[in-house]
Amino acid sequence: MIQFEQTFMNFLLHHQEKHNRTYHFLILMDGLISAAKHIQHYYLTGALKGNLGLAGDVNVQGEDVLRMDQIAQEITIHYLRASGRVIHAISEESKEIIPVDPEGGRYFVYFDPMDGSSNVPHGLPVGFLFGVAKRNLEGPEDYHLRAGKDYIAAGMFVIPTGTFTLALKDAGTWRFHIDETMNFVKPVRMVLPENPKSWELSFNEANRKTYATGVQEWLSKNESKYAFRYLGALAGDFHRILANGGMFMYPAIVNHPDPKKNRPEGKLRLMYEAAVVAFMCREAGGHAVDEKGTPILEIQPRTHHQRTALYVGSKPLVEDISNVLKG
């Protein structure tokens, strides 16, 4: 007897019908999933075809090797265009906002097609992160940059492990795995565990001394209670936090020995990194703030590549460090 799993499309069709929504979002999600599968394929076969090199390399066929993130960018833009549902896109890989279908489109997509690409040459996990907002359907669209609280969905594909996590506004965070038929199946609802026994802290230990004094003191006081894990790729690190609970932190750099290397505004990008994981975290019962203790989802972007500090994960930890940051 063949065992048939519920596919992502079964799940999403049910969700759309339950909430009397249109099929447009299904078409957009089909485009994003097709892009993720295509990127995954390139990543998995890249080592053999010499696609994992750095830009400027030349492969055995004498072709210029595109960096994996440039390949991922090209693939994603292709599928967003093909969907016919995207007004414009904002990508980590493109300085300018990318017009896709200004007249016919319905959604704005903010994405990083290959977050953590320094892991690529080592075949380690990277992330395709995306957030989706919708045009104003009741009146003229002013194309303003959306805060995370105005996203309708956000998610991430962990490549090459083939795990897909999607959060839908007021409808939870769900994790799917890719099966041998290349379908994303077996939806599991993700809720951050309340019991601290599985919680982890995740931050770049090499930066510790550059954090604000209050943050260093918080770490000294609390870190012995939790396991420590750090992959150097937000999607991989946050993937674990969603399952085990705890907190991922990328604090502002304010005490670097070389003041020119300080990053008081933070490192991570607001619209397609921090707001994406903050949205997934909120739908899983968690929270996320910046260096002032401001909720990430409340931050109205001034520019589309704006950076931020990020503290994201289990509410008790994020609220505790938030009180220090507000202090």
Query: CB 252 → ligand P6P: shortest distance, Å?
Result: 13
Contact (Cβ atoms closer than 8 angstroms) between residue 279 and residue 290: no
Q: Please state whether beta strands 287-289 and 310-313 pair in parallel, antiparallel, or not at all (unpaired).
A: antiparallel
**φ and ψ at residue 202, rounded to 5 degrees:** -140, 110
116 versus 313: smaller Cβ distance to ligand P6P: 116
Q: Indicate the residue among 241 and 299 with the shorter CB distance to ligand P6P.
A: 241
What is the C-alpha separation between 154 and 128, in angstroms, rounded?
Answer: 11
CB contact set of 190 (below 8 Å; sequence gap of 6+): 165, 172, 173, 174, 175, 242, 243, 280, 284
Our CB check for ligand P6P shows the closer of 59 and 204 to be 204
Residue listed under structure tokens 């202090």: 327
Taking the alpha carbons of 281, 111, 115, 308 in that order, is the dihedral positive or negative?
negative
- The single-letter DSSP state of residue 209 is G
The neighbouring-strand residues paired with 58 are: 64
Nearer to ligand P6P, 40 or 202 (CB): 202
Residue 188 three-state SS = strand
Of 30 and 115, CB closest to ligand P6P: 115
Q: Which residues bind ligand P6P (CB under 6 A)?
A: 115-116, 204, 232-234, 237, 250, 268
Cβ neighbours around 75 below 10 Å, total: 21
Q: What CA–CA distances, in Å, run from 147 to 72, 90, 139?
A: 25, 13, 19
Indicate the SS3 state at residue 178.
Answer: strand
In the complex with ligand P6P, the residue whose CB is nearer, 153 or 276, is 276
Residue among 180, 154, 175 at smallest CA distance from 165: 175
Nearer to ligand P6P, 172 or 232 (CB): 232
